[in-house]
């Protein structure tokens, strides 16, 4: 396989966007072309989960490639639930690594706020098993809640630990101009004060409002290129060095140990193995914190901390900006927002931004190795990417 | 009409599946006509649960109880809970009831009460 580099990156503001889905995908792609200085593109992959259902838009990639006046370049839409973004990056990686293409745009977009919040939650729930899960009224927060209760029982994770993740990530988002949530929160406000119960009601017990990511519109893009193309560019060279993906049972209830996320563990191990690095070598990571418990559980499964000790590392501040293993300094899904199809690419955007040393007041010092975990379904389709700064 | 929830038993290796698989996850045999449908037991133990507050619009309740139950034969399934104050590990008994109503359809599934 050929080496694959990230030549350009782009992102929209996350939140409520008033322009069409195809433009939410095209805008960050245009930014990535400006960033790299490359505008001769062989292939465009567009990650999106809900265009057909939420926005009355199918065949999104055809719309995007034309909006960008990149026809007759190849184009395809990748729908892989909330892991659409990193799944599209994997396709882009394969296209360049195989030698078939030299320049591939991988862009992702979602416009979820076109519908109300309950419909958006129900739309995401359509990824669950139609007969054994969806008909019962299960939502993704409900899956996360049942997982949380087991985690609390087995490992001593408390509501306070969950709140600490939420406060950390939402406050990290204050340093990210593109983040959806631009409001600082405190443990007192969401947990301890007399008003906390009103501020922070249950979504799915024991998870509360501030344990859940917002419903967001947004788009993000990375441009993947071959070594030959990268050589001619005046941009810092960041290599996509490891790509891992693993799946697990469609229904969550069937899993042998319901407190484990084996697809996260397998995807991460593949990604690190391919890159030739250890989890402890990672300088900065973006984990899929759609719910606060997931940051804790994923930080263990990918190998940053021992199983059952993620919440202890959190207590010690190890996952903060400035800690030994900074996680979600962009704000994560919790603070930056979670436009489902774009999230895996927004994570990659942040890591490349960090490895280039361009992240401003949220920069992790001397970051050379970065990692992302994009978690689809409730852990039934997971991708893990490892990025390395060269030179 | 009596309604049951069915598991799928592999004639080759005895693995019991719920929900349906086209290939056996035990022996990997490739012919799905080698499965027998067997009604699942209704008694089991509650492993974990939640009350959901942000429900799809068609649910006209303030919060909905959901739980994962390990049935007496070891199959684990999601079901609705008709239990005011559930506790992890409690014994439950299931019956088939309407779990979701949409405009033209009622969907049936397992609803658990305290045993």
The tens digit of pLDDT for each residue in A154-206 reads 999 999 999 999 999 999 999 999 999 999 999 999 999 999 989 999 999 99
pLDDT at B30: 78
**Kind plus residue range of the DSSP H or E element containing A154:** helix A140-155
Mean pLDDT calculated for residue range B63-70: 98
pLDDT at B103: 82
The tens digit of pLDDT for each residue in A302-351 reads 999 999 999 999 999 999 999 999 999 999 999 999 999 999 999 999 99
Between chains, do B49 and A132 touch, taking CB under 8 Å as contact? no
Count Cα neighbours of A84 within 13 Å in the Cβ-side half-sphere.
29
Count Cα neighbours of B5 within 13 Å in the Cβ-side half-sphere.
27
**In this complex, is the C-beta atom of A272 within 8 Å of any C-beta atom belonging to chain B?**
no
Between chains, do B52 and A147 touch, taking CB under 8 Å as contact? no
- Asked if the model's pLDDT at residue B32 lies above 70, the reply is no
**In this complex, is the C-beta atom of A124 within 8 Å of any C-beta atom belonging to chain B?**
no
CB < 8 Å to A135, chain B? 99-100, 107, 109
Between chains, do A118 and B51 touch, taking CB under 8 Å as contact? no
The dihedrals phi and psi of A51, each to the nearest 5 degrees, come to -55, -45
Q: What's the rounded Cα separation, in Å, for the pair B74 and A254?
A: 10
pLDDT at B31: 75
- Asked if the model's pLDDT at residue A40 lies above 90, the reply is yes
CB < 8 Å to A119, chain B? 56-57
User: For residue B41, what are the β-bridge partners?
Assistant: none
Between chains, do B55 and A253 touch, taking CB under 8 Å as contact? no
CB < 8 Å to A133, chain B? 78
pLDDT band at B56 (very low <50, low <70, confident <90, very high): confident
Q: What's the rounded Cα separation, in Å, for the pair A123 and A333?
A: 18
Q: In the structure encoding, which two tokens stand for residue A216, read together?
A: 């967001």
Tell me the shortest Cα–Cα distance from A325 to chain B, in angstroms: 31
Between chain A and chain B, how many beta carbons pairs sit less than 8 Å apart? 102
Lowest mean pLDDT among A103-112, B27-36, B80-89: B27-36
pLDDT band at B28 (very low <50, low <70, confident <90, very high): confident
Check: CB of residue B17 under 8 Å from CB of residue B6: no
Q: Residue-wise over A325-345: b if at least 16 C-beta within 10 A, else e?
A: bbbbbbbbbbbbbbbbbbbbb
The tens digit of pLDDT for each residue in A200-255 reads 999 999 999 999 999 999 999 999 999 999 999 999 999 999 999 999 999 999 99
CB < 8 Å to B18, chain A? 132, 254
Q: What's the rounded Cα separation, in Å, for the pair B39 and A217?
A: 44
The dihedrals phi and psi of B63, each to the nearest 5 degrees, come to -150, 150
Mean pLDDT calculated for residue range A9-19: 97
Helix (H, G, I), strand (E, B) or coil at A339: coil
**In this complex, is the C-beta atom of A258 within 8 Å of any C-beta atom belonging to chain B?**
yes
pLDDT band at B29 (very low <50, low <70, confident <90, very high): confident
pLDDT at B1: 66
Q: HEC states along B45-98? A: EEEEEEEECCCCCCCCCCCEEEEEEEECCCCEEEEEECCCCCCCCCEEEEEEEE
pLDDT at A54: 97
Helix (H, G, I), strand (E, B) or coil at B9: strand
Between chains, do B109 and A136 touch, taking CB under 8 Å as contact? yes
Mean pLDDT calculated for residue range A258-268: 97
B110 → chain A, closest CA residue: A136
pLDDT band at A391 (very low <50, low <70, confident <90, very high): confident
Closest residue by Cα to residue A279 from A247, A251, A306, A250: A306
- Asked if the model's pLDDT at residue A294 lies above 90, the reply is yes
Q: What's the rounded Cα separation, in Å, for the pair A43 and A65?
A: 9
Between chains, do B52 and A204 touch, taking CB under 8 Å as contact? yes
Mean pLDDT calculated for residue range B27-51: 91
- Burial of residue A127, with CB atoms counted within 10 A of its CB: 0-12 exposed, 13-18 middle, 19 or more buried: buried
Domains plus CATH for chain A?
Answer: 4-116+215-231 (3.40.47.10)
Check: CB of residue A264 under 8 Å from CB of residue A301: yes
CB < 8 Å to A125, chain B? 56
Average pLDDT, chain B: 93
Q: Which of A146, A152, A200, A256 to mutate to test the interface with B (most CBs of B within 10 A)?
A: A146
Interface of B with A (CB under 8 A): 18-20, 47-57, 59, 63-64, 66-68, 76-80, 88, 99-100, 107, 109
pTM of the model: 0.97
Contacting residues for B24 by C-beta, under 8 A, at least 6 apart:
B10, B12, B13, B15, B17, B34, B35
Between chains, do A205 and B19 touch, taking CB under 8 Å as contact? no
Between chains, do B54 and A139 touch, taking CB under 8 Å as contact? yes
């Amino acid at each position: 396989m050929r080496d694959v580099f990230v030549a350009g990156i782009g992102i929209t503001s996350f939140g409520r966007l008033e322009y069409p889905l195809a433009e939410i995908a095209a805008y960050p792609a245009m930014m990535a072309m400006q960033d790299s200085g490359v505008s001769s593109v062989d292939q465009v992959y567009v990650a999106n989960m809900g265009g057909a259902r939420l926005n009355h838009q199918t065949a999104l990639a055809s719309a995007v490639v034309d909006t960008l006046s990149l026809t007759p370049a190849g184009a395809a839409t990748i729908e892989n639930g909330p892991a659409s973004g990193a799944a599209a990056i994997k396709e882009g990686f394969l296209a360049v690594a195989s030698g078939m293409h030299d320049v591939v745009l991988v862009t992702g977009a979602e416009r979820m706020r076109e519908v109300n919040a309950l419909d958006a939650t129900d739309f995401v729930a359509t990824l669950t098993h139609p007969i054994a899960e969806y008909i019962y009224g299960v939502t993704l927060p409900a899956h996360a809640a049942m997982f949380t209760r087991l985690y609390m029982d087995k490992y001593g994770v408390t509501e306070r630990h969950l709140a600490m993740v939420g406060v950390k990530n939402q406050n990290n988002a204050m340093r990210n101009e593109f983040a959806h949530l631009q409001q600082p929160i405190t443990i007192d406000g969401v947990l301890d004060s007399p008003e906390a119960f009103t501020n922070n009601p249950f979504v799915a017990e024991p998870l509360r409002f501030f344990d859940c990511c917002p419903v967001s519109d947004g788009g993000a893009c990375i441009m993947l290129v071959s070594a030959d193309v990268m050589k001619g560019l005046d941009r810092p060279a960041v290599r996509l060095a490891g790509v891992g993906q693993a799946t697990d049972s469609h229904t969550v209830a069937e899993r042998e140990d319901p407190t484990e996320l084996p697809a996260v563990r397998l995807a991460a191990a593949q990604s690190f193995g391919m890159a030739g690095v250890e989890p402890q070598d990672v300088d900065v990571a973006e984990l899929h914190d759609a719910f606060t418990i997931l940051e804790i559980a994923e930080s263990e499964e990918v190998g940053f901390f021992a199983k059952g000790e993620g919440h202890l590392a959190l207590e010690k501040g190890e996952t903060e900006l400035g800690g030994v293993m900074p996680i979600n300094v962009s704000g994560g899904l919790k603070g930056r927002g979670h436009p489902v199809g774009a999230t895996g690419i927004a994570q990659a955007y942040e890591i490349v931004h960090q490895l280039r040393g361009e992240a401003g007041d949220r920069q992790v010092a001397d970051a050379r190795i970065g990692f992302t975990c994009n978690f689809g379904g409730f852990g039934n389709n997971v991708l893990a990417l490892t990025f390395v700064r060269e030179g | 009409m009596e309604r049951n929830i069915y598991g799928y038993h592999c004639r080759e290796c005895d693995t019991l599946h719920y929900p349906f698989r086209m290939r056996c996850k035990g022996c990997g045999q490739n012919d799905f006509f080698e499965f027998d449908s067997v009604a699942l037991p209704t008694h089991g133990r509650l492993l974990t649960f939640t009350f959901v507050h942000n429900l799809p619009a068609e649910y006209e309740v303030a919060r909905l109880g959901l739980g994962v139950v390990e049935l007496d034969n070891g199959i684990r399934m999601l079901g609705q809970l008709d239990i005011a104050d559930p506790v992890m590990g409690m014994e439950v008994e299931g019956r088939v009831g309407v779990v979701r109503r949409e405009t033209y359809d009622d969907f049936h599934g397992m609803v658990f009460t305290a045993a």
